[in-house]
Amino acid sequence: MADDSYKTIKQVAEGYYTEKRSRFISYAIPVRTVEEVKEQLEKYRKQYYDARHVCWAYMLGPERQTFRANDDGEPSSTAGKPILGQINSNELTDLLIVVVRYFGGIELGTSGLIVAYRTAAAEAIAAAEIEERTVDEDITVVFEYPYLNGIMRIVKEDNPAIISQKFEMDCEMTLRIRKGEAERLKNRLLKVETAYLKE
């Protein structure tokens, strides 16, 4: 996968797994920030207030550097870690997976728990619609009005998204383009007379 793209899920997806009468209900939830993660966790804890465990893991950001896993009272590394492992092996980010466990009365043991949480997380991911997104960069170019046609020609050819524009004596346009193509666009814009990039 390119440096300027990443994979995430489109909407909430649900999975289900049972083992020795224990029920594992899993949710894959698209999130962007730690605040969103907290809100979602609160929501699922309230919804499943009677469950024995609400375990979870998340991964955030295109660089996949922000992540956490939580066993919520299960033996150490038997729940959060296998859930996070599924996010990793599918190379996903901006994703929270919550696995709710209703205890069935029979102990599963550490290896049984790891398999159960891993499988429940995998089921939620399998049910999700995965999409690739690009990492974009915003470029603001300033130029004099007579050079508008030259700038517009480049915009038409390179096809960045136009975020904002104002055309007066000094014109200003903010363009959004995939990071990998940003340098080329900047160089082309700077070749137009009077044009400069705003930091």
Quote the pLDDT of residue 4. Answer: 85
Distance between CA atoms of residues 177 and 189, nearest Å: 13
- For residue 74, the SS3 value is coil
Residue 160 and residue 189 in one domain: yes
Of 89, 108, 131, at which residue does a domain stop?
A: 131
Residue 112 and residue 141 in one domain: no
Residue 82 and residue 121 in one domain: yes
- For residue 95, the SS3 value is strand
Token digits of residue 76: 């150490």
Residue 37 sits in a domain whose CATH number is 3.30.230.30
pLDDT (tens place) for every residue of the chain, 199 residues total: 457 899 999 999 999 999 999 999 999 999 999 999 999 999 999 999 999 999 999 999 998 899 999 999 999 999 999 999 999 999 999 999 999 999 999 999 999 999 999 999 999 999 999 999 999 999 999 999 999 999 999 999 999 999 999 998 899 999 999 999 999 999 999 999 899 998 7
What domain count does the chain have? 2
Q: Which residue has the tokens 């990443």?
A: 6
Of 131, 154, 186, at which residue does a domain stop?
A: 131
Would you say 52 and 103 are in contact if contact means Cβ atoms under 8 Å apart?
A: yes
Quote the pLDDT of residue 169. Answer: 84
Residue 140 and residue 43 in one domain: no
Quote the pLDDT of residue 105. Answer: 92
Q: Which domain holds residue 187?
A: 134-196
Residue 9 and residue 97 in one domain: yes
Q: For the chain, give percent helix, strand, coil, nearest 5.
A: 35, 40, 30
Phi, psi dihedrals of residue 44, rounded to the nearest 5°: -75, -30
Residue 10 and residue 71 in one domain: yes
Residue 121 and residue 189 in one domain: no
DSSP-derived letter for residue 107 is: -
Quote the pLDDT of residue 185. Answer: 96
Quote the pLDDT of residue 3. Answer: 74
Residue 171 and residue 102 in one domain: no
Residue 122, sorted as left (phi over 0), alpha (psi -120 to 50) or beta, turns out to be: alpha
Phi, psi dihedrals of residue 84, rounded to the nearest 5°: -60, -35
Q: Angle of helix 179-190 relative to helix 148-158, nearest 10 degrees?
A: 160
Quote the pLDDT of residue 1. Answer: 47
Residue 90 and residue 31 in one domain: yes
Residue 110 and residue 138 in one domain: no
Residue 154 sits in a domain whose CATH number is 3.30.70.240
Distance between CA atoms of residues 183 and 181, nearest Å: 6
Would you say 28 and 13 are in contact if contact means Cβ atoms under 8 Å apart?
A: yes
Of 109, 131, 153, at which residue does a domain stop?
A: 131
Residue 173 and residue 76 in one domain: no
Token digits of residue 166: 């104002």
Residue 74 and residue 9 in one domain: yes
